[in-house]
Amino acid sequence: MFFDAMKIIPKQEKEIKSRSRSEKGKAGKKGQLKIQETAFMLLALAIFGAIVLLFYTNMQLRGIYSERERLAEEEAISSLEKFVGMPEFAVETQLGHGIDKEKLLALRNISDYSKLFESISKIEVYEITENKSFEVYNSKKQKNIAYSMFVPLCSTKYVENYAEQDCKVAQLIVWVEKK
Amino acid sequence: MIKQNKKGDIFQWLFASLVGAVIIFIALYGVYRYINIERYRYDIELAKSLDVLMNPFETSLLEAQALQVKMPSETEFSIECNYEGFGTQLIEMKTRSGVGKPWQGYSKPITINNKYIFTSKEKGKELYIFSKSLKLPFKLDLIYALLNEYCFVTQPSQASEHIQKELKLLNITKVNVVKNKKDCENNSIVVELDVSCEYNCEETLEGYVKKDDEKIRVKGAALLYGAAFSSPEDYYCNTRRIAYRIGMLAMLHAKKADELGANGCAMGEIKQKLFNLANKAFTLAKQEQPSLEELEPYIEEVENENDFLPCHVF
């Protein structure tokens, strides 16, 4: 039956059919090519987007780190002034707040105070006239940045039944950890 | 042929629309996430800046000082208090935004370990920070941070006049002092005061602060504001922290007395009296609702002893 039917189809009709089949195939290939093109375009776009995102994230991270450093610096500088006024450090002088040397020496022997100075790595006082320094607090953390300010360092002198406050210029140095 | 092209065109359009929609969705989602992260980061920075901003209030030569800060947008913050040892306060913030959700969750909390901040869950655009010193007998500064509107209900007296005068002097416009509760504005936090004072109101002011249906006994203006501007839980938490700090300061001054004694100064009984003060303060720090008034006889003893020493300990 099949061979009989083949015979019935005229030659021209056969040619048209084979032509349309090849055209269909060409159109299919074209379509495939277009999909491939689009897919490559999308892939390129995604890679480009990822690169831009990576670059941007890196910049943002740098921004966050520098902001954190700025805030840490601000905190350290403002805490320098704060220490001078803290009851653990302060002594009232005729010119305002000074640092009490006896209190600092006493503070070294009380370990519980470490909880109050959590954000600080080390506190040091440099006596300029004596050219020597002593540690007030040391957390044994990494010490990267130091901030300092000049302060009057006062101690009580007791001579011949008379007590007086002896104040000298010193440098209060506060070390903070660079995270 | 035409049918074939049409089918191809439809497919292309569908494909382009789908890919476009996906790209737009990803872009919008990215922008939304970016804004949220930026807001979170901004809120953390703001909380940290607030901590730094309060540093000068922590230790000042003045009896009281105030600062007004206009926030860039409506801000809300809350403080959580922990009373173990020196204790800590955790401050977290969030700001209102015109993009996305108006309010998002609180930022990562910033830990503050050496300030005594009296505040509650505050919301507003104008921030008032002020401090008052407390001498027990070592000077500590208490900080108050307000964003909300407050209404103090109190009967006319010397004490209420003193409070009004002081708030005016510090330019604290967030607090309205009235006679009757009904005179308070709707959105304000009502605090009832039953206080009195004698000749020197700053030192002798005492009475009760009623807030959140709880009555708190206070002595001195510094603690009165503390009870008025914070929740009863936070008030007691901070008083426990203050008691512990006083205890540690008494210990430190006892060690200072040793140093002075080694220099030849006669120290009398100051060391013992400082230890007594420290013990009482540490006991109070362990109580759930401590009253710092209980330190008064110990402070008096220490002060009297110190006044007669040739080398003063404080």
DSSP string, B49-61: HHHHHTHHHHS-S
Annotated domain spans of chain B: 236-307
Closest CA to A23 of B12, B8, B10: B8
Q: By CA distance, what is B46's nearest residue in A? A: A71
Q: How confident is the model at residue B177 (pLDDT cuts 50, 70, 90)?
A: very high
Interface of A with B in 65-124 (CB under 8 A): 67, 71, 74-75, 78-79, 81-88, 90, 96-97, 100, 102-103, 105-107, 109-110, 112-113, 115-116, 118-119
Residue type for position A154: C
| Residue pLDDT, tens place only, B85-114 | 899 999 888 888 877 788 888 888 888 888
pTM score, whole prediction: 0.81
Cα B202 from Cα B204, distance rounded (Å): 6
Between A20 and B134, where is the model more confident? B134
Give B59's contacts in chain A (Cβ within 8 Å). 81-86, 90, 97
- Alpha-carbon dihedral of residues B147, B142, B239, B146, nearest 10 degrees? 0
Give tens-digit pLDDT for A158-169: 887 788 888 899
Q: Is A24 on the interface with B (CB under 8 A)?
A: yes
CA distances from A118 to A75, A138, A177 (A): 13, 11, 11
Give the residue-averaged pLDDT of A143-155. Answer: 86
Chain B residues lying within 8 Å of A90, measured CB to CB: 59
Query: CB under 8 Å to B186, separation ≥6 — which residues?
Result: none
Of B263, B307, B261, the C-alpha closest to A159 is B263
Please report, rounded to a whole number, the percentage of residues in chain B having pLDDT higher than 70. Answer: 96
Asked whether this complex has an ipTM greater than 0.85, the answer is: no
Residue among B245, B225, B289, B227 at smallest CA distance from B66: B225
Burial class (CB in 10 A: 0-12, 13-18, 19+), A44: exposed
Type of residue at A85: G
pLDDT classification of B23: cutoffs 50, 70, 90? confident
- A161's torsion region: left (phi>0), alpha (psi -120 to 50) or beta? left
Distance from CA of A7 to the nearest CA of B (A): 28
Q: How crowded is residue B272: how many other Cβ atoms within 10 Å of its Cβ?
A: 15
Please report the pLDDT score of residue A127 as a whole number.
92
pLDDT, position A179: 62
CA-to-CA distance for B170 and B132, rounded, in angstroms?
11
SS3 label, residue B248: helix
Instruction: Please give the DSSP secondary-structure letter assigned to residue A117.
Output: T
For residues B106 and B220, the answer to whether their CB atoms sit within 8 Å is no
> Which of A51-55, B265-269, B282-286 is modeled with the greatest confidence?
B282-286
Minimal Cα distance from A81: which residue of B?
A: B56
Hey, which residues does A96 pair with through a beta bridge?
Answer: A93
**pLDDT confidence of residue A2:** 47
Q: Which residue of B has its CA nearest to A79?
A: B55
Contact predicate A76/A173, CB 8 Å: no
Instruction: Indicate if the pLDDT at residue B292 is higher than 90.
Output: yes
Q: Which of A45, A74, A87 sits opposite B52 (nearest CB)?
A: A74
Q: Is A161 on the interface with B (CB under 8 A)?
A: yes
Residues B184, A101: Cα–Cα separation, whole Å: 52
C-alpha torsion sign, points A95, A97, A98, A103:
positive
